[in-house]
Structure 1
Amino acid sequence: MRAPIGDFDTATPAPDCLADLVAPVADAVRGWSASVPAEQILYVETDDRWADTAVFVEHYGRDLLERSANCVVVAGKRGGETTLAACLVLSTTRVDVNGVVRRQLGARKASFAPMDTAVGESGMEYGGITPIGLPAAWPLLVDAAVVDLPWVLVGSGRRRGKLLVPGKAFAELAGAVVVEGLGVAG
Structure 2
Amino acid sequence: MSTKERISTQFTLQPAAEAPELLAEATATALPTISGDVDVFAIDSQIADTAALLGATDLPPATSANCVLVAGSRGGEERIAACMVLASTRADVNKRVKKLLDVRKASFLPLERAVSESGMEYGGIGPIGLPENYRVLIDSRVAEADELIIGSGIRGSKLILSGSALASLPGAEVIEDLANDID
Q: What TM-score, normalized by structure 2, do the two folds share?
A: 0.91
> What amino acid is aligned across from residue 117 of structure 1 in structure 2?
R
What is the DSSP-based 3-state SS (H/G/I as helix, E as strand, rest coil) of the residue aligned with 2:70?
Answer: strand
Take 1:130 and 1:91, find their aligned partners in 2: how far apart are those partners? 13
User: What is the percent sequence identity of the aligned residues?
Assistant: 42
Aligned to 1:78: 74
Aligned to 1:41: 38
Which blocks of at least 5 consecutive residues in structure 1 are unaligned? none
**Displacement of 1:79:** 2.5
Matched, 1:108 2:104: yes
Query: CA offsets per residue over residues 86-141 of structure 1, 9 Å max, x none?
Result: 00000111110111101111111111011111111111011110111111221100
Take 2:176 and 2:6, find their aligned partners in 1: how far apart are those partners? 25
Q: Which of 155, 167, 170 in structure 1 is aligned with 2:166?
A: 170
**Displacement of 1:5:** 4.3
What is the DSSP-based 3-state SS (H/G/I as helix, E as strand, rest coil) of the residue aligned with 1:125?
Answer: coil
Q: What TM-score, normalized by structure 1, do the two folds share?
A: 0.90
Take 1:110 and 1:147, find their aligned partners in 2: how far apart are those partners? 23
Aligned to 1:125: 121
Take 1:54 and 1:34, find their aligned partners in 2: how far apart are those partners? 27
Which blocks of at least 5 consecutive residues in structure 2 are unaligned? none
Give RMSD over aligned pairs. 1.6
Matched, 1:51 2:53: no
**Displacement of 1:24:** 0.1
Q: Which of 77, 81, 95 in structure 1 is aligned with 2:91?
A: 95
Take 2:48 and 2:149, find their aligned partners in 1: how far apart are those partners? 12
Aligned to 2:12: 10
What is the DSSP-based 3-state SS (H/G/I as helix, E as strand, rest coil) of the residue aligned with 2:132?
Answer: coil
